[in-house]
Structure 1
Amino acid sequence: MGARAQQDYGFFGPDSVTWKVWGYPTSIVLGFLRAVVIEELDPYLVASVDQSGQVKQRPKLRYDRTMQYFATVKFGDAESVLRASDTLMKIHTRAVGHDPVTGGRYDANDPSSQLWIHLTAWHSILYTYEIFGPGKLTEAEEAQYWNECARAAEFQTIDPADVPRTREGIRAYFAAYRPRLAGSEVAQDMMDFLLDASTTVLPERMPTPIRVVFNAVARRAVIATLPRWMRKLGATTQSGLTDRVAVALTRPVVRAAAASTWVQLWALRLASPRTAPILEPVLRRTPPMHPVVREPAEARAEYGVTDPRVQYAAILAERERQSGPAPYPKHHAEELLPFPA
């Protein structure tokens, strides 16, 4: 069955560094797992995840849906990106509540929280690409990558001006954010759970021996990319020798997968069936019906979708009036995002 042609190239396209890095096999498991594991150190985020309960109740589905969203933003056509962003914005409107660690309140749409998730993902995808894939980008490519990171921020409540545009800026951001992180019992438990790649990534039908070996290597490979202070905070320590062995075992497998479109699609269908149809046209180089890269403001005007920052301002105004949708109850059944599949 052939790949479905999309309407346009969305907001990045084949000349983007985003397609080059996010379309590499490292993003499917290693980069994505690294990002979601690190994210749990933010007490507001982990409070939201813990009180939702969905990650542990439906880990495979949550992994699949989150991968699908990220893939849609990077590789989907403009309308798909805007509809997905708009839907997620509305779902996050009810994801507010009390954080027992800091005593504050979390808000899934808060720009600061969104920026933490956004930069953790973009940095993790790039870093695993460098460690397990082709290596570092050129200086020009890296500059383009962070500029594209700022463009992707436009589909959340983040002000693109807050997105660093250099590696040094990214490092400075994480250094400034570090005091806000907490290695709480909940965070450590969630990090340990997410590092079980056999639960989050592999389908249940996969034979147990394969699951055990896959998890043993993937878990250690992801931990090998974490800085020492972060491992200590998350109770995910391992030796330098284990780091080197994990990288040595993983790197040739990833590079072999990168050489075969068939292998990449097979792995995608196993790990994230919802993501495979989005990436298939990219991997097969199937051009869209209109081979153009769109501008966010122009596309929003065409499809009648409001900027997330404007939506968030309206949400905050509703809360001031003590109106708007009620917060989700603990361990609720989340809505399914109506993404193309």
Structure 2
Amino acid sequence: MHFDPTTLRRDDYGFFGPDSPSWKIWTAPTAVIGFQRAVVLEHFDPFLTAAVADSRGIYSDPRKRLDHTFSYFLIAAIADGRTAIQAAEHLMQIHAPMTGIEPISGNRYSANSPETQLWIHITGWHSVLKAYEVFGPGPLTPEEEARYWHECAIAAELQTCKPEDVPRSRAEVREYFARVRPRLCTSEKAEEGMHHLLWTSPRNGAGISYAIGSRLLSLASVATLPKWMRRLGRFDRWGIVDLAVKLPAKVLVWSFTRFNSFGLLFAAPFVAPMAGQILEEHLNAAPPTRPETVTPSEARALYGSRSGRALIAEPA
């Protein structure tokens, strides 16, 4: 994914706008904690695990692979409609050839399948909100939360998710997790992926700074995961560690927020350079040409390619 920071917000305010809870939560310091949480728990889905294991991207170049994924979520949340649509179509192109056989079930997987895309989307948006609630300012107001899940459903239009399957409230998110839980499992490949994401090795191009960053983040992200997941993934720890982590993490988040996230911008080149670039442009962006929001369908009609939807590869 190529990103030109001068184009983040040239046309409009994107899908949500400056007063939206999505802008507030996705640009908060806690978003990086929530992102690590999401990419770890995603591995409980065997079809996503198979796609990750076969592509090997998080192992051969973990910094670039995860930076690009985090950047996509940020673009969907805060960029203008043109940038978001073009990023989504590019992502579908990248995912289109990622198909194969999931070894546990023997069924075919596709990275662009609606079920896999919904799992990625919901775990991402839910995890970022969870980290915001645990380490950030705290829970949203009922009105903000209702709007957040409405915006989550709008962002899902950028992917291949079936609209009728997308949760639109916290209660529906809980129902979704309960519905998919019977198919969640662990495996040797799943544990390899989760442990690598929590405690990345400096080898394979990750570097010392990224490896240290993943371990520090894991102290906070693991604390937000339910015990059954931690035991299933074999990365559980004593509860006293969770208690010891929460206060320092909250202090760090407060300090980053107090100084307009400049602490995060300083650290970004060492951990997630593209995401840091996007955040910096967000903080310094001038008003767009049209200070209004658009819908994904409007943006797709204006800026999308006709072949974008054809890039969906359904499992055979």
TM (norm. structure 1) is: 0.84
For 1:215 and 1:303, how far apart are their aligned partners in 2?
36
Matched with 2:26 is 22
- Between 159-168 and 173-182, report the one with greater CA deviation: 159-168
Q: Does 1:282 align with 2:296?
A: no
Q: Does 1:252 align with 2:256?
A: no
For 1:63 and 1:95, how far apart are their aligned partners in 2?
17
CA RMSD of aligned residues (A): 2.3
* Letter aligned with residue 119 of structure 2: W
- In the TM superposition, what whole-angstrom CA distance separates every residue of 1:137-187 from its partner, at most 9, and x where no partner exists? 000000000000000000001123321111111111111111111111111
For 1:160 and 1:183, how far apart are their aligned partners in 2?
28
- In the TM superposition, what whole-angstrom CA distance separates every residue of 1:21-69 from its partner, at most 9, and x where no partner exists? 11101112x1110000000111000111111111111111111111121
For 1:264 and 1:40, how far apart are their aligned partners in 2?
27
Q: Is the 8 A contact 1:151 1:160 kept in 2?
A: no
For 2:288 and 2:180, how far apart are their aligned partners in 1?
40
- In the TM superposition, what whole-angstrom CA distance separates every residue of 1:291-341 from its partner, at most 9, and x where no partner exists? 221122222222243496x4256x55xx98xxxxxxxxxxxxxxxxxxxxx
- Between 168-177 and 146-155, report the one with greater CA deviation: 168-177
For 1:258 and 1:197, how far apart are their aligned partners in 2?
26
TM (norm. structure 2) is: 0.90
4+ aligned runs moved over 4 Å, structure 1: 197-200
Larger Rg: 1
Q: Secondary structure at the match of 1:311?
A: helix
Matched with 1:303 is 303
For 2:106 and 2:69, how far apart are their aligned partners in 1?
28
Which runs of no fewer than 5 residues in structure 2 stay unpaired? none
Q: Is the 8 A contact 1:85 1:155 kept in 2?
A: yes
For 1:93 and 1:118, how far apart are their aligned partners in 2?
17
For 1:216 and 1:193, how far apart are their aligned partners in 2?
10
Matched with 1:34 is 37
Q: Is the 8 A contact 2:264 2:276 kept in 1?
A: no
- Cα gap change, 1:260/1:144 in structure 2, threshold over 3 Å: closer, same or farther? same
Which runs of no fewer than 5 residues in structure 1 stay unpaired? 321-341
Q: Is the 8 A contact 1:60 1:199 kept in 2?
A: no
Question: How much has 1:239 moved relative to structure 2?
Answer: 1.1
Q: Does 1:230 align with 2:221?
A: no
- Cα gap change, 1:65/1:215 in structure 2, threshold over 3 Å: closer, same or farther? closer
- Between 34-43 and 289-298, report the one with greater CA deviation: 289-298
Q: Is the 8 A contact 1:39 1:117 kept in 2?
A: yes
Question: How much has 1:215 moved relative to structure 2?
Answer: 4.9
